[in-house]
Structure 1
Amino acid sequence: MRYLFLLLFSGIITTYSVEAQEKAPRAAAQKLHMAEFFIDQLYVDSVDENALVEAGIRGMLSNLDPHSTYSTPEEVKALQESIKGEFVGIGIQYRMQNDTLYVIRALDGGPSKKAGIMDGDQIIAANGQPIVGSHITTKDISDLLRGPRKSKVELTLFRDGQPHLLSIERNTIPINTIPAAYMLTPAVGYINLESFNTNSHVEFISALKALKKKGLKDLILDLRGNSGGLLNIAVDISNEFLKAKERIVYAQGKRVDLGSFYATGSGKFKDGRLIILQDEYSASASEILSGAIQDWDRGLILGRRSFGKGLVQRPVDLLDGSMIRLTIARYYTPSGRHIQKPYAKGSDNQLKYRMELLDRLDRGELVHPDSIMVVDSLSFRTLVKGRSVYGGGGIMPDIFIPVDSVLLSPVFRGLNQPDTLNPLFKFIHSQRSTILSSYDSTRFIESYVVPEDLTVSIRKALMKGYKDTTDSQVDILSVDKFINSWLKSLIARDLYGDLVYYQVRNKTDQGVLKSLEVLNSDTYRAELN
């Protein structure tokens, strides 16, 4: 056996022999090689041979399925960092505002914090190279700030109207996947899990232990926006909720049978009530977890239909550091559901596949549960209570929660555009010291009020450019109420960090409020009977 590859669904360590390639018919491969050779040798203009090969690979994969993909060496590096759960850098969160890099946060324990970088600093150069101007990209910034572990970068900062020089030694920075874990009530805990990387299970156990010390009885696990990650981590976290020998997932393909994965009975939260929040962006490993919980009637799924990714990919490393992620199997929930949403082959159809979430919006599915397309022939029964569940396109929620209707207004199309948020960024930069000196995080959550003039300026920025949208066409009271809550959460994130951001946001979040309502009534028991 010549090479080892990581199977990522991402994710079990397994082996794959490239000797199998040598047994495959060579005629097709020779034909492809000849075509590339003659194009390179005879075409009227010069060609980029590497670009031709990459286009050929992408073309072949586009005729398979939407999740068999090609990644360049640069993309592979970023993917490996997200899976491994760490990167080498200086440890800051930042944003570009008016062509200037502002430090939102110097991460605790990171190189920048130790070197003296402060929240709100402007970084104007790295190793003498300017970091200003509209031409600066995120990749440019990453290339300047990241580098080998123990290497140094000389930063030029602007603080209080004065330049400062700092030398920072780069180090390993963890990528945390749980930005918030706290008690919503004396008995109900909340954990937000953003992805499933190498460290996620350890993070989850740590969060769970901390909440148990604070009185945790019931848990709300927020998987909204979680697009997945490592299969083995999804299995490990699912194990925390299930009884011994309960199957979590199984995966089968034409030539690959990954078998079944079962709970061991060693879980740390097998008895408390459990609610999982999901949305149309919850995919892959998230759906393995939700599917196992739903099939065993272990908890309730609240939200909207999940993305619908039920295919397993194996990474195949190529000689130049690029990678093919090739679909090798389909996975199934414990009841036997295959939840991959339909797709057609070909590059044009792959674009339609990626736009499918917009189709859900157009059909009204994000607002009305009756608009969800359920295939009766793909009906299954849960394994304890015998409730009806469905395959063929994501995990259907037990309790539907529509998108906030305010967000569907044309006013909010530019919600996260830089021009829209410029008034907010200016406000935070000018008021940072004042707010921090007047409010600790607890007082901020409970009593801080967003200034009315900031709310009005953001509303005007949102409505700018939409000639058909006037004050008379929107419910200004509802819009401003939403903007106030949204702005307060963004100010909280900048000044106090992710935990306070979620504590502010969840005060008005419909998913969290509905979850608490279900736990505080007979709904939870009724749904699982």
Structure 2
Amino acid sequence: MKKKFEVWLPLLFSLVLIIGMFIGYKLRSAQPNGGLSVGSSGSALNEAAAIIKQKYVDSVKIDSLEANAIREMMDELDPHSVYLPPLDLKETTEDLSGQFMGIGVEYKLIRDTVNILSVFKNGPSEKAGLKIGDQVIKIGDSTVAGKKVAATTVSNLIKGAIGTKVNLQILRGNQLLQVPVTRADIPRPTLVAAYMIDKNIGYIKLDRFGSTSYREFMEAMEQLKKQGLTQLIFDLRGNGGGYMDAAIDIADEFLSGDKLIVYTEGLNSPKKEYRCKRPGVFETGKLTVLVDELSASASEILSGALQDWDRAMIVGRRTFGKGLVQEIFPLSDGAALKLTVARYYTPLGRSIQRPYNKGKKVYMDEVWSRYANGQAYFADSNKVNTGKQYKTPSGRILYGSGGIMPDIFVGLDTTKTSKEINKLFFNGSFNEFVLHYYLDNQKVLDPYPSPLTFSQQFQPGKKMWLEFVGWAKKDSANLSTVPDSERVRVENRMEAYLARFKWRDNGFYQVLNLTDPVVARATDYLKTQ
């Protein structure tokens, strides 16, 4: 009997196991998730995505759901930690690389039409025959004229692989033209202007801190020093930052020895110091740095270091207040996380970062609120100069937490601009008028060898102003009562915009800066010290 039981025991065991598995399967299938296997080691986000993918009633783009979930997570962090979809990541990289794949034109959307304002010399568009004033009707099969189209849409249609062609339909006067343009690698300078204000004072404007900024800066300094530069106005207004390394390298050219330029530190990022490494190209000459509320991040690193060491006089208005360091972490689908990994501190230990505990909207709106509460107009209205004090080598008192406060405050002009003029600037009518004036008077710039000569000798006077008054009537704007002071300001801007057609940004700033109060204050400081 015992022997028979031993023979049947394995069979009975197998039968019980099979029955148990069957019962377990039925019990599991009766559960709400239908026995879905999501793995115990995954996160709740992965589990949710798997359940949705396998059990949702309709088809769903799981990638879009995951991207939205990541965005929501990033929104819970600081305002500068963001999710970058593949296209945004590409644009971010191109913006700072100093190169992009395009056709070599500058354009502007005016009244729902893409107008070509500049054609790069020896670029693909010049070779294809495009001209200033051409209006783009179609890019490939996409119509871009006569309807509201985003600037990013136009840019994405124009860009493409090097060597490929994009077919443009152009309106030139009353003639429709088909113009094929071969895309190429187009340099995009980050340094937009460099010239001598007088025999000693040079001016440099840096638009952003990109991979080519340091080289562009050194080349500009070499040229200006050959022309007699002994003093410098370095304009960082509107410069929203970029690569921290570029700011550090340029700061190194202004500071001597092994001075500390900036240090970074975060919960998961040990303290790291960045010091001067080489003899600088401009360690002793008089220096002013121009800033405003849109000068941020790398601009604040540079201006903060120079202010802490008493190396430069900071002129303008309080900077943005961004003291966070981001790194880009690629994701497997081509997107990326732009994640804050540390805070940066000026040599004296100042953190420039503004508070962001009230949410992203309040944080971003704070800059614009400065116009409403007087901070953009009056130095006494800036209430950030409280809390811990920091003393420079010369004994000056500085403050952190809220941006770089300039040593010389120059507020916005309190003279009100008329509603009619504002309307013409905001709806693009002013830009359109200057473009048409240039097209109708293309030889107007021919006699002038330089922007300065043009500004000194060209007098738009009543003729150009009267044309503008007539032009404005199309927008139901009555300029007959505009005061003379405002008329003069508008005429000065007209001259600057005209100069851009011949000398591009370098000419634009040479003319515009002649009436710029911040540049004037910096120039006066350099001349009187």
- After TM superposition, the score normalised by the length of structure 2 is 0.85
C-alpha separation in 2, matches of 1:28 and 1:355: 42
1:132-170 CA-partner distances (Å, limit 9, x unpaired): 221443233223322111122333434354444443321
Does residue 506 in structure 1 map to residue 516 in structure 2? no
Q: Of the candidates 68, 72, 77, which is equivalent to residue 64 of structure 1? A: 77
Aligned CA distance change for structure 1 residues 127 and 234 (closer, same or farther; 3 Å): same
Q: Is the 8 A contact 1:421 1:458 kept in 2?
A: no
SS of the aligned residue for 2:515 comes to coil
CA distance in 1, matches of 2:376, 2:148: 38
CA shift in 2, pair 1:503/1:44, >3 Å:
same
> How far apart are residue 172 of structure 1 and its match?
0.6
Instruction: Answer yes or no: is 1:421 the counterpart of 2:434.
Output: no
Q: Per-residue displacement from partner, 1:358-398 (whole Å, max 9, x unpaired)?
A: 2222221111111111343221011x212101101101100
Q: Select the residue among 334, 344, 349 that pairs with 1:336.
A: 349
Q: Using the alignment, how far apart are the partners of 1:368 and 1:27 within structure 2?
A: 60
Distance in structure 2 (CA, Å) of the matches to 1:159 and 1:375? 56
Q: 1:495 to 1:462 in 2, by over 3 A?
A: farther
Q: Identify the residue that residue 388 of structure 1 maps to in structure 2.
A: 397
RMSD of aligned C-alpha atoms?
Answer: 2.6
Q: Which amino acid aligns with 1:390?
A: Y
| Cα contact 2:321–2:352 (8 A) shared by 1 | yes
For residue 411 of structure 2, the aligned residue among 402, 414, 420 is: 402
1:494 alignment counterpart: 501
Render the CA deviation track for 1:481-502: whole Å, top value 9, x for unaligned.
2211222212222343111110
- Helix, strand or coil at the partner of 2:87: helix
Which residue does the alignment assign to 1:517? 524
Structure 1 128/71 Cα, relative in aligned 2: closer, same or farther at 3 Å?
Answer: closer
1:48 Cα deviation from its structure 2 partner: 4.0
2:246: which partner in 1?
233
Aligned positions of 1:20-419 closer than 5 A: 30-39=43-52, 47-127=60-140, 129-159=142-172, 161-257=174-270, 259-344=272-357, 349-382=359-392, 384-406=393-415, 413-414=422-423, 416-419=425-428
- Tell me the CA shift for residue 211 of structure 1: 0.3
Counterpart-to-counterpart distance in 2, 1:398 and 1:415: 35
Give per-residue Cα distances to partners, 1:325-376, cap 9 Å, x unaligned.
111111000011011011116xxx1011110112222221111111111343
2:35 corresponding residue in structure 1: none
Q: Render the CA deviation track for 1:78-122: whole Å, top value 9, x for unaligned.
A: 001012111111100112334433221111232212333222233
Cα distance in 1 between the residues matched to 2:162 and 2:104: 12
- 8 Å Cα contact 1:177-1:195 kept in structure 2: yes
Q: Which amino acid aligns with 2:129?
A: G
Aligned partners of 1:415, 1:405: CA distance in 2, in Å? 20
Amino acid at match of 2:202: G
- What's the TM-score once normalised by structure 1's chain length? 0.85
Cα distance between partner residues in 2 of 1:56 and 1:309: 26
Alignment length, in residue pairs? 487
Structure 1: how far apart are the matches of 2:263 and 2:94?
27
What secondary structure does 1:520 align onto? helix
Match of 2:442 in 1: 433
Higher RCO (CA 8 Å, separation ≥ 6 residues): 1
Q: Which region of structure 1 is more displaced relative to structure 2, 43-52 or 194-203?
A: 43-52
Report the alpha carbon displacement of residue 422 of structure 1 after superposing the two structures with TM.
6.0
Alpha-carbon distance, 1:258 to partner: 5.1
Instruction: Decide whether aligned partners of structure 1 residues 353 and 377 sit closer, same or farther in structure 2, where only a CA change above 3 A counts.
Output: same
Contact 2:133 2:439 in 1 (8 A): no
For structure 2, the residue ranges without an aligned partner over 5 or more in a row are 1-38
C-alpha distance in 2 between matches for 1:30 and 1:92: 48
The CA distance in 2 between the partners of 1:28 and 1:224, in whole Å, is: 50
Q: 1:480 matched to which residue of 2?
A: 487
Task: Decide whether the 8 Å contact of 1:455 with 1:483 is kept in 2.
Answer: no
Aligned counterparts of 2:46 and 2:470: Cα–Cα separation in 1: 60
- Is the contact made by 2:110 and 2:428 (CA closer than 8 Å) also made in structure 1? no
Distance in 2, Cα, partners of 1:263 & 1:410? 50
User: Gaps (5+ residues) in structure 1?
Assistant: 1-25, 523-529
475-484 or 197-206, which deviates more: 475-484
Query: 1:312–1:329: 8 Å Cα contact kept in structure 2?
Result: yes
Change (3 A) 1:176 1:422: closer
Q: Which has the larger radius of gyration?
A: 2
Partner amino acid, structure 2, of 1:198: S
Q: Which moved more, 1:190-199 or 1:447-456?
A: 447-456
CA contact (8 A) 2:83 2:336 kept: yes
Whether contact under 8 Å (1:192, 1:222) holds in the other structure is yes
Code of the residue aligned with 1:133 in structure 2: it is G
Contact 2:434 / 2:497 at 8 angstroms: preserved in 1?
no
Kindly indicate whether the alpha-carbon contact (under 8 Å) linking 1:154 and 1:165 is maintained by their aligned counterparts in 2: yes
Q: What SS does the aligned partner of 2:326 have?
A: strand
Identity of aligned residues (%): 38
**CA spacing shift, 1:229–1:220, aligned 2, 3 Å:** same
